[in-house]
Each structure stands twice: as structure tokens, then as C-alpha cells.
Amino acid sequence: NAGVMQNPRHLVRRRGQEARLRCSPMKGHSHVYWYRQLPEEGLKFMVYLQKENIIDESGMPKERFSAEFPKEGPSILRIQQVVRGDSAAYFCASSPRSSGANVLTFGAGSRLTVL
Amino acid sequence: AQTVTQSQPEMSVQEAETVTLSCTYDTSESDYYLFWYKQPPSRQMILVIRQEAYKQQNATENRFSVNFQKAAKSFSLKISDSQLGDAAMYFCAYRVNNNAGNMLTFGGGTRLMVKP
């Protein structure tokens, strides 16, 4: 029973390039969350998605960042025209429902380095 | 807005001793959950313990226990019989219990070092 799978684990991009991070939730989980962790800081919520729907994107930067969770395939976090400040670890988490006592299961994260 | 504060950037404990990590939070909600997550050097976020706000009894998981003081909005983590494998970043987190989703608010973390 695979957990939350994220890839790539490490991604290096030059300023101005695009970064795509992928997340496959745990089997049976239909709710996906993306978090960002800047160096020496805690995780910050970015976006919450269900299949084909963005439920809450209150933590997403207004520009250059987008996320999707299509009917088939993994959830994608896309960062266009990356800048050095985008260097961070990006974590995906999933849960079977939106509320109640269920706990988020985290992936191992994708570390983005912008040169 | 909810905030979570961890006032200890670093803590150190001798192997086999006990250490307590502090966490305070601010919320106007009455129904919520609190969590402690461990992040070892591998960066994997591992759930250590969870507390429901409506429960007065403090949660316990083996060597890990919490001291939940709802009125004071305090949620500390006690690690007994510390082991070398406990060395990691520890994050306190909060989530309101509603149907709006499982969004967690994290504190800034405490780095725990365990001395042999």
C-alpha cells in the first residue's frame, strides 16, 4: 500500500524556467493538499484540491503558481518563470475526506532549487 | 486567523532523559485538532501524536505524551526516555474541525538534538 508519492525528489531550474511537481495521493484518498517549506521554517498551506476541482487556494501566490488534480493522473503543482525565492521543499499530503478525525498523510517532498 | 507559535528554536536532551517541547496557538474556534509532527533529515513528515480539543484527557503514544491546556491554548509535547532516533525537527500544527478541509497551520518548528 504505497503512501503519497511525489516526484521528482529534487529539481533544479534556472531563473525563468518552469517547474512541475507531481503528487499521487494514497490509494482511496481523493483530497490533496500542497504545502511549501522555506529553509528553516514550518510548512505553509498553499492549495487544497479534489478531483477536477480547486477547493481552497488561499495560500497560493497570485502569479506564476497553479495547481490541478485531473480526473486521471497525479496532482500537478506548476510554477512558471521561477525565481530564486521559489527555492523550497514542496510537500503534498492527502486524506480520504475533508473533515473529521482523519489525518493527513504526507509525501517525502520535492526540493526545488532555482539557480 | 489561527497562529501556532513554537518559542524554542532548538532543544537538547541527553539520551534516556525527558524533554518537553512547547507550543502555543491562537484561535477563536472551539472544535479543533492539534498535532505534533516529526521531520527527520529525510524530510518526511511523520505524525507523532494527535489531540482532539473536546477531549480533556491528554493523548499518549508510547514514549510521547502531550500536556493540553485548552484555556491557556498550550499544547506541549513530552518525550520520555529519549533515543538517538528522536533527533529531528518537531512541528506543532492546528486544524479547525469543519467541512472546509484538512488545512493545517504549522508552527516554526523546534530542532531537537539528542546527546549520547
To the nearest whole angstrom, how far is the Cα of B14 from the nearest Cα of chain A? 24
Distance CA A77, CA A84 (A): 17
pLDDT, one tens digit per residue, over B68-84 is 999 999 999 999 999 99
To the nearest whole angstrom, how far is the Cα of A115 from the nearest Cα of chain B? 22
Distance CA A89, CA A78 (A): 14
pLDDT, one tens digit per residue, over A38-78 is 988 889 999 999 989 999 999 999 999 999 999 999 999 99
Judged by CB atoms closer than 8 Å, whether chains meet at A33 and B103 is answered as yes
CB distance from A9 to chain B under 8 Å? no
pLDDT of residue A111: 96
Structural Rg of chain B based on CA atoms: 14
Which whole-number Å values give the CA distances from A91 to A46, B7, B52, in the listed order? 10, 24, 24
To the nearest whole angstrom, how far is the Cα of B32 from the nearest Cα of chain A? 10
CB distance from A92 to chain B under 8 Å? no
- For chain B, how far is it from start to end, CA to CA, in angstroms? 41
pLDDT at residue B1 is higher than 80: no
Using DSSP's 3-state secondary structure scheme, residue A51 falls into: coil
Judged by CB atoms closer than 8 Å, whether chains meet at B97 and A100 is answered as yes
Q: Chain B residues with CB-CB distance to A under 8 A? A: 4, 6, 33, 35, 37, 42-45, 47, 50, 52, 91, 97-109
